[in-house]
Structure 1
Amino acid sequence: MIKFLNLKKINKPFEATFQEKLKHFFEEGWYILGNEVTKFEENFAQYCGLKYCVGVGNGLDAITLTLKAYIALGKLQKGDEVIVPSNTYIATILAILQADLVPVLVEPKLETFNINPHLIEEKITPRTKVILPVHLYGQLCEMENIEAIAKKYNLIIIEDSAQYHGAFSQFSQSYLSHTKTFSFYPGKNLGALGDAGAVVTNDLKLYETIKMLRNYGSQVKYENEIIGVNSRLDELQASFLNIKLPYLDKENNNRREIAKRYLSEIKNKNLQLPFCNDIQKHVFHLFVIRTENRINLQKYLYENGIETMIHYPIAPHKQKAMTFLNHLSFPISEKIHNEVLSLPLNSSLTDEELNFIIKILNRF
């Protein structure tokens, strides 16, 4: 069976180095917010081309704490509206709700899976304060159009980059002014050994506020300035991320090479391949195809020894937890959720496995 994702194989090259780090970890005896977290925050901020990074417990908290920090700084108020794509993973919307803000869903483009900038303006009201684009599956959103809208209406941009680790150094200083939130869930392009997340920004006040929020609202131990939570990047996870970060560009390039083969060699009129007009702006966290025969295709692939995944089977506004959104209709988003299927794409794939996957897909 060709696994969709073989984390054991992906992380194997880093095992010996991590074992050494683990030994040092026990010898040092500092387990929370130590040198490894500080080092990763410095390294990842530099990698992203931004000044500050705050390590937090997971990607959901990265968005939630960013929104709460803006509230603490007086730039947002509870009840303000946040523009968000209707086909994102539900965590993006949960973060908005947990910050006592209101999600306003906007349809994506069918081709790119990313939010359609041309539909944003019609959803803007006097309560709209934030646009929260999601670089879904690893493809960069149309940021120039989104930036123009944000500037016109004086809106904050917070990027959900949970699936988009990399390539930031190529883009304009305007783009680099945004706050970006990340997940380092084990399956990400830069994955930890458990849950982990981060916020990266050039805004010093935002950075300092999120640092307090993640640590009970405290800068000095036992002195609590604001109401915070416990969401600190774990020292061991930071240690592992420090080991893997220097290899992230190589990982992304490997993914692009696999994607190039899929895009050029899959020839099947029953399958809609992902749109990509600039492969350097796509890090291919996932390679997502569409088909009206998804159930049959997934079964066919499994029977031929190929494991696939569905990202994601249920649209957020159709989730039982989102009863206040259940009455809404987003036909493009619903079509995407009903048709998408993710193929294996990661550095653990061999040429032989890739050849086999392409051959079997072309026979469907």
Structure 2
Amino acid sequence: MKYKVDFINSSYRRYYKRHKKEILKAIDKCFSLGNFVLRKDVLEFERKLAKFVGVKYAVGVNSGTDALKLSYKVLGCGPGDEVITVGHTFISSIEEIVHLGAKPILIDVRDDGLMDVSQIEKAITKKTVGIVPVHLSGKVCDMDEIMRIAKKYKLWVVEDACQALGAYWGDRKAGSLGDTGCFSFLSPKTLGGAGDGGGIVTDDRKLYEKLLLMRNHWNITQGALHGVQPKAPKIMGWGYNSRLDNIQAAVLNVKFKYYPAMLRRRREIGMMYNKGLKNLPCVLPTQQPKQIYQEYIIKVKDMWKLKKYMDKKGVELLIRDTIPNHKLKGLGMEYFNLPVTERIAGESVRLPIYPELTDKEVKYIISCVKKFYNHDA
């Protein structure tokens, strides 16, 4: 189906058209110099990321999923451990706990989709080692309470901030409050690259130095790193291949220049939705003063009917994760009782909110939703 307003693809094409010369120049430089693996573009991006988040160190990795995995691993997560997180998240927050032999302990979220911190202490046992708050849709969990509990019980905290790069909790940015913060630069994210990419931030130098080893096979000699081979330590460990590609870093370095303006435009669109959709029989998202607008999710009772109507009007909406993670067959998590998570899964509809949308397109989306509810557009 050809949409008048698609959900995300036009964002990629319009951004590329606008910045094509810069992007191709950055890529051409990588090829011309043979800079493909852990070259200066990665170092530059890591410096930019650390400065933007307000931390000392950043490590580029190949995905947000690996950012979580390496964070859990570097903090000692392993067989027999329990880690508290939420079911209302992308599966990687949970699956990387499982991949390390630990057990995810899922608690529910509040109506805003964020971790219900009142449930954390009840979920703590002698096996609990950490907490993974998920800053979903650009909003940030109650980090004051989470860090208080973590300190009380001597637990580590890994912030899944993959959807919150630039959002604040108080005067600090998401990702800067826990032991590590994890980010994704997958294409649809607010700072999306040309495919997969991820990053880890921390203020702990020991964690930083170990993460550098872990992402690169513990710096064992590799032909791809000829000329820039980092020194391997005398005592080796088991590592991974989880490097941020230098070409991806080069592409992201171009985009980082425009990122603050892109966040402002997303906020403008969010405000247009707030104003245009108020008083309709749908629930608008709970919003925070210093959030970012990774997504704009409305809750509707008849979401598939709305989707079908908007398709006819040429507007692509996104409905996903209608079966909550803990209810997916084969994962063995059906015993968790998460009523709010289950309810949200059956009523959430995402509207387009990429910064390349025109005001005319946003107004058309609002008009179509109003007409669906028989309100004057």
Give the deviation of 1:175 after TM superposition: 7.8
When the two chains are superposed, the root-mean-square deviation of aligned CA atoms in Å is 1.9
Corresponding residue of 2:345? 337
Greater displacement, 306-315 / 38-47: 306-315
2:51 pairs, out of 46, 49, 53, with 46
Corresponding residue of 1:193? 194
Corresponding residue of 2:156? 156
Give the deviation of 1:167 after TM superposition: 3.8
Question: What letter is aligned with 2:204?
Answer: D
Alignment partners' CA distance in 2, 1:341 and 1:103: 27
Question: What letter is aligned with 1:288?
Answer: I
Alignment partners' CA distance in 2, 1:31 and 1:224: 27
Give the deviation of 1:350 after TM superposition: 0.8
Corresponding residue of 2:301? 292
Structure 1 unaligned segments of length 5 or more: list them.
none
Alignment partners' CA distance in 2, 1:158 and 1:293: 36
1:10 aligns with 2:15: yes
1:122 aligns with 2:127: no
Corresponding residue of 2:289? 279
Corresponding residue of 1:79? 80
Corresponding residue of 2:314? 305
1:341 alignment partner, SS class? strand
1:261 aligns with 2:261: no
The question of whether the paired residues in 1 share the 8 Å contact of 2:39 and 2:246 is answered with: yes
Greater displacement, 4-13 / 205-214: 4-13
1:220 alignment partner, SS class? coil
2:58 alignment partner, SS class? strand
1:314 aligns with 2:323: yes
Alpha-carbon spacing, 1:215–1:363, altered in 2? closer, same or farther (3 Å): same
Give the deviation of 1:116 after TM superposition: 0.6
Corresponding residue of 1:28? 33
Corresponding residue of 1:65? 70
Alpha-carbon spacing, 1:60–1:174, altered in 2? closer, same or farther (3 Å): closer
Superposed CA offset, 1:236-256 (max 9, x none): 000011111121111111111
Question: What letter is aligned with 2:36?
Answer: Y
Trace 1:211-250 onto structure 2 (pairs within 5 A). Answer: 211-218=212-219, 220=231, 225-250=236-261
Alignment partners' CA distance in 1, 2:177 and 2:141: 15
Alignment partners' CA distance in 2, 1:3 and 1:59: 25
Alpha-carbon spacing, 1:105–1:350, altered in 2? closer, same or farther (3 Å): same
Give the deviation of 1:14 after TM superposition: 2.3
Question: What letter is aligned with 1:144?
Answer: D
Alignment partners' CA distance in 1, 2:145 and 2:110: 14
Alignment partners' CA distance in 1, 2:236 and 2:247: 28
The question of whether the paired residues in 2 share the 8 Å contact of 1:268 and 1:362 is answered with: no
Alpha-carbon spacing, 1:17–1:350, altered in 2? closer, same or farther (3 Å): same
Trace 1:337-356 onto structure 2 (pairs within 5 A). Answer: 337-356=345-364
Trace 1:179-190 onto structure 2 (pairs within 5 A). Answer: 179-190=180-191
Alignment partners' CA distance in 1, 2:140 and 2:263: 14
1:12 alignment partner, SS class? helix
Corresponding residue of 2:138? 138
Superposed CA offset, 1:206-253 (max 9, x none): 111111111112253697711111110000000011111121111111
Question: What letter is aligned with 1:294?
Answer: M
Alignment partners' CA distance in 2, 1:231 and 1:90: 19
Seq. identity, % = 34
The question of whether the paired residues in 2 share the 8 Å contact of 1:197 and 1:233 is answered with: yes
The question of whether the paired residues in 2 share the 8 Å contact of 1:192 and 1:240 is answered with: yes
The TM-score, its normalising length taken from structure 1, stands at 0.93
Q: After TM superposition, which residue ranges in structure 1, 4 or more long, deviate above 6 angstroms?
A: none
Give the deviation of 1:168 after TM superposition: 4.7
Alpha-carbon spacing, 1:115–1:100, altered in 2? closer, same or farther (3 Å): same
1:134 alignment partner, SS class? coil
Alpha-carbon spacing, 1:183–1:360, altered in 2? closer, same or farther (3 Å): same
Structure with the higher fraction of residues in helix conformation: 1
Question: What letter is aligned with 2:90?
Answer: Y
Alignment partners' CA distance in 2, 1:11 and 1:174: 28
2:85 alignment partner, SS class? strand
Greater displacement, 196-205 / 162-171: 162-171
Superposed CA offset, 1:105-153 (max 9, x none): 010001x100111111111111111110011111111111212211221
